[in-house]
Structure 1
Amino acid sequence: MFVDKVKIFVRSGKGGDGHVSFRREKYVPNGGPDGGDGGRGGHIIFEVDPGLNTLMKFRHQRHYKAKDGEEGGKKRCHGKDAEDLVIKVPQGTVIREAESGRVIADLHATGQREIIFRGGRGGRGNQHFATATRQAPRYAEKGTPAKEYWITLELKMIADVGLVGYPNVGKSTLLSMVSNAQPKIANYHFTTLAPNLGVVTNQYGKQFVMADIPGLIEGAAEGVGLGHDFLRHVERTKVLLHVVDAAGTEGRDPVEDIYTIQREINLYNENILKDKPQIIAANKIDVGGHEENLERLKAEFEPQGIKVIPISAAANDNLQELLKDVAELLATAPEQNIIFEPEFEEISQMPDGPFTVKEIFEGYFTVEGTAIERMLGYTAMDTEQGFAFFQKYLREKGIIQALEDAGISEGDTVNIYDLEFDYYK
């Protein structure tokens, strides 16, 4: 079964907590702090597997959770980092955050490997908090929390040539005649409910991958029928091969059919057809009454630079001529496929919730709270933009004011889980 869209739950690993302990040896009765750091939580990693061509396995397993980092130990022992969770997907998989629909990653390249959600950082043990005036700190950091999201995986077929056309115009028959694919063929609408791929070799030895994209209907861009599921696969192809019924066996106008499909593709994504070469296969010339439609097709589209090739897929008539022209188009087609740029920001709004401010010892303040922990875990603190965003959060949520009410002075230290900074107005 071909599955090209699924929704799954992923969770990265929590960072291990730092440890509080003190060196205790027979001749060292007052040893210093030796609590170790916690280990890093496991990352969620997606990797392209060339052996996969469907998202079927995600129908059976919907939840994926990386392991948490190990807590720190005595004698400065560092907790073990958790193993990363590697999830393998087919080439062409686009990962989106389910609620917003924003792109997290586009796994379009062979062997591509992306860290989608990072595991939490391990908390520091109390060995890091000793100073000349504070030699026995009884405080250690907690590990950064895990990140968890519902995400959608969308498979967009990567093929050189995409066959597009109304249902029952002969696309599956054409693919079966020119490639190694064996699609199911029958004489009724929506025979093909999933894309079929085939490797085509023309008489000159040129090879390319052809995809039979299921039949489109008017209104597909608005989701009519299975429209969005079909249109998704058009984006990746380098050349579009329109297949039309030149004989008009079902009473449709082949010229209008092509304009309708072009219109639906533009409504779905206006950039698809801008630089993508197109060619028309006028099928069913073995059936009488095709001559007038064939001339109309040539008169309408060849002045636009879209060549019309008469064929009969069922009778294997003129198929090599079609493949020769397709190979020539591929040779001049843009090399790059459409790639979806990441647009997902892990914090779309500032989380809210209670917090506590404590002065652990003189000049050292801690801030804790579920919302703050979540905010810190999801914000890229190693970037100027991320840190500025976090500072804005501290001000707007009243945390800075609470620190000042607790008696903080300039130069004092503020610790918020794994973030530590000096306070200055």
Structure 2
Amino acid sequence: MFYDSAKIYVKAGDGGNGAVSFRREKYVPEGGPNGGDGGRGGDVVLAADPGLRTLVDFKYRRHYKAERGEHGQGKNMHGRGGQDLVLHIPVGTIVKNDDTGEIIADLVEAGQQVIVARGGRGGRGNARFLSNQNKAPRLAEKGEPGEELWLTLELKLLADVGLVGLPNAGKSTLISQISAAKPKIADYPFTTLTPNLGVVKIDDNSFVVADIPGLIEGAHAGAGLGHDFLKHIERTRVLIHVVDVGNVFERDPYADFVAINKELELYNPALAKRPQVIAANKIDLSGAEENLKDFQAKVEGYEVFPISAVTGQGIEPLMRRVVQLLEEVGEAEPCISLEPERVVKAEPKERFRIDMEDGVFILSGKELEKHFAMTNFENEESLRRFQNIMNKMGVVDALREKGAKAGDVVRIKDLEFDFVD
């Protein structure tokens, strides 16, 4: 099945814990510290794989976690780093932060990779805390937690040419004639419900064609799954507009042509400016010649190619002209951004914040929570070190400014303690 969107949760590996260890030598009680550092946690990496065409794998498994780093050991032995978790996705996939909507990456080249969640660094062993004031440190850091977040994956097919038109205009029949693609074909609208890709070969040239399900009025606003279909032609360089001149459904070919182009422009103005040729389809039916003359009289500025997708009539000249247009256009940008230009400013991040809830002072913030997670609160030296970190960060002074008094309850994550002034 074809899936072009998915929501997944990724968690990078936590860092390994540092070790508390001392050299054991005869007549040397508690010889120097030799606790090793923990290994770094593995990253979660997304890699563009040209062999994939759908996000179906992510519909059945949504949670992914990289390997954590190994713990440090005595004799200054550091833990092994966790193995990165590489997830393969189709070329043309946009990766977004599901919470903020921010675009993290747009993987448009085969082999392109992006780290979406970084592994936590390993905790330092007690050998790292040796100093003139502390010859036998008994503290070590716990590993830093790996990053975690929900991602939205959106696939936009990469194709050179896009087939557009109303339902049942003959797009699927045309792609089945010009390539090895075998889409579902029937004589009623909305036969094609998912995009199809086909490779066309003309002499020594070849290009990829995307057959987009038929569009209807209001597609730019999402009508008839319009957004799901329109996004797949954003990356194409040339459009073939398939128009039914056989009058099978007693419609006005020119009105249909204008309606589809209007939807393209409303969805993305750049699409309406894309090089476009018209395939006047079903020319083999009775009355089609008269309809074609009337249609050509109204269309200005477009090349019209009478074809029959069923019999193959007129298809070769159309394909050769498409090859010429692709050469004229050249390699276009693989992605069209509809978002306004974003200016990134380096702003100092909030180190911590203080909130009140039912009389309890709640501390949060990425930097503070990182130190919290890496502290072993069962170790007295580690606890004192965490208190010193809070003092240096200005947390204690900020609590006083917020009105905290001796005995008030302060909470960080799931740990509560009394404020001591």
Counterpart residue identity of residue 402, structure 1? V
Correspondence for 1:295: 293
Q: What is the DSSP-based 3-state SS (H/G/I as helix, E as strand, rest coil) of the residue aligned with 2:200?
A: strand
Offset at residue 111 of structure 1 (A): 1.6
Residue pairs, 1:337-356, within 5 angstroms: 337-339=333-335
Offset at residue 254 of structure 1 (A): 2.1
Offset at residue 257 of structure 1 (A): 2.0
Counterpart residue identity of residue 51, structure 1? G
Counterpart residue identity of residue 318, structure 2? L
Correspondence for 2:15: 15
Counterpart residue identity of residue 396, structure 2? A
- Answering whether residue 245 of structure 2 is matched by residue 251 of structure 1, we say no
Q: CA contact under 8 A between 2:213 and 2:229: conserved in structure 1?
A: yes
Offset at residue 285 of structure 1 (A): 0.9
Deviations 1:76-107 (A, max 9, x none): 11111101111111111111122333211111
Offset at residue 279 of structure 1 (A): 0.9
Give the whole-Å Cα distance in 2 for the aligned partners of 1:266 and 1:238: 15
Offset at residue 296 of structure 1 (A): 4.4
Give the whole-Å Cα distance in 1 for the aligned partners of 2:370 and 2:279: 57
Correspondence for 1:402: 396
Cα distance change of structure 1 residues 136 and 224 upon mapping to structure 2, 3 Å threshold: same
Offset at residue 33 of structure 1 (A): 1.9
Cα distance change of structure 1 residues 148 and 405 upon mapping to structure 2, 3 Å threshold: closer
Correspondence for 1:323: 319
Give the whole-Å Cα distance in 2 for the aligned partners of 1:327 and 1:154: 29
Cα distance change of structure 1 residues 323 and 374 upon mapping to structure 2, 3 Å threshold: farther
Give the whole-Å Cα distance in 2 for the aligned partners of 1:340 and 1:44: 27
Cα distance change of structure 1 residues 75 and 402 upon mapping to structure 2, 3 Å threshold: same
Q: Could you list the runs of 5+ residues in structure 2 that have no partner in the other structure?
A: 356-361, 372-391, 401-421
Give the whole-Å Cα distance in 2 for the aligned partners of 1:279 and 1:221: 21
Give the whole-Å Cα distance in 2 for the aligned partners of 1:130 and 1:167: 74
Q: How well do the aligned residues superpose, as a CA RMSD in angstroms?
A: 3.0
Counterpart residue identity of residue 322, structure 1? L
Q: What is the DSSP-based 3-state SS (H/G/I as helix, E as strand, rest coil) of the residue aligned with 2:223?
A: coil
Residue pairs, 1:182-331, within 5 angstroms: 182-202=182-202, 204-274=203-273, 276-303=274-301, 306-331=302-327
Correspondence for 2:107: 107
Give the whole-Å Cα distance in 2 for the aligned partners of 1:98 and 1:344: 21
Q: CA contact under 8 A between 2:351 and 2:367: conserved in structure 1?
A: no
Q: CA contact under 8 A between 1:103 and 1:340: conserved in structure 2?
A: no
Cα distance change of structure 1 residues 401 and 93 upon mapping to structure 2, 3 Å threshold: closer
Give the whole-Å Cα distance in 2 for the aligned partners of 1:110 and 1:88: 11
Cα distance change of structure 1 residues 318 and 372 upon mapping to structure 2, 3 Å threshold: closer
Q: CA contact under 8 A between 1:13 and 1:82: conserved in structure 2?
A: yes
Cα distance change of structure 1 residues 201 and 374 upon mapping to structure 2, 3 Å threshold: farther
Give the whole-Å Cα distance in 1 for the aligned partners of 2:351 and 2:270: 36
Give the whole-Å Cα distance in 2 for the aligned partners of 1:144 and 1:257: 59
Deviates more, 1:335-344 or 1:80-89: 335-344
Offset at residue 328 of structure 1 (A): 0.6
Correspondence for 2:68: 68
Q: Could you list the runs of 5+ residues in structure 1 that have no partner in the other structure?
A: 356-367, 378-397, 407-425
Correspondence for 2:77: 77
Give the whole-Å Cα distance in 2 for the aligned partners of 1:91 and 1:321: 31
Cα distance change of structure 1 residues 261 and 81 upon mapping to structure 2, 3 Å threshold: same
Number of aligned residues = 370
Q: CA contact under 8 A between 1:297 and 1:308: conserved in structure 2?
A: no
Give the whole-Å Cα distance in 2 for the aligned partners of 1:102 and 1:344: 13
Cα distance change of structure 1 residues 307 and 18 upon mapping to structure 2, 3 Å threshold: same
Give the whole-Å Cα distance in 1 for the aligned partners of 2:350 and 2:246: 61
Residue pairs, 1:147-186, within 5 angstroms: 147-186=147-186
Offset at residue 402 of structure 1 (A): 1.8
Q: Percent identity?
A: 51
Give the whole-Å Cα distance in 2 for the aligned partners of 1:184 and 1:56: 20
Counterpart residue identity of residue 285, structure 2? V
Q: CA contact under 8 A between 1:200 and 1:209: conserved in structure 2?
A: yes
Cα distance change of structure 1 residues 145 and 221 upon mapping to structure 2, 3 Å threshold: same
Residue pairs, 1:333-412, within 5 angstroms: 333-339=329-335, 371-373=365-367, 399-400=393-394, 402=396
Deviations 1:365-385 (A, max 9, x none): xxx9664358759xxxxxxxx
Cα distance change of structure 1 residues 70 and 373 upon mapping to structure 2, 3 Å threshold: farther
Cα distance change of structure 1 residues 139 and 93 upon mapping to structure 2, 3 Å threshold: same
Cα distance change of structure 1 residues 192 and 405 upon mapping to structure 2, 3 Å threshold: closer
Offset at residue 351 of structure 1 (A): 9.2
Q: What is the DSSP-based 3-state SS (H/G/I as helix, E as strand, rest coil) of the residue aligned with 2:207?
A: strand
Give the whole-Å Cα distance in 1 for the aligned partners of 2:243 and 2:58: 36
Deviates more, 1:236-245 or 1:12-21: 12-21
Q: CA contact under 8 A between 1:218 and 1:264: conserved in structure 2?
A: yes
User: Normalized against structure 1, the TM-score is what?
Assistant: 0.79
Q: CA contact under 8 A between 1:19 and 1:73: conserved in structure 2?
A: yes
Deviations 1:148-184 (A, max 9, x none): 2221211111111110111000000011111111111
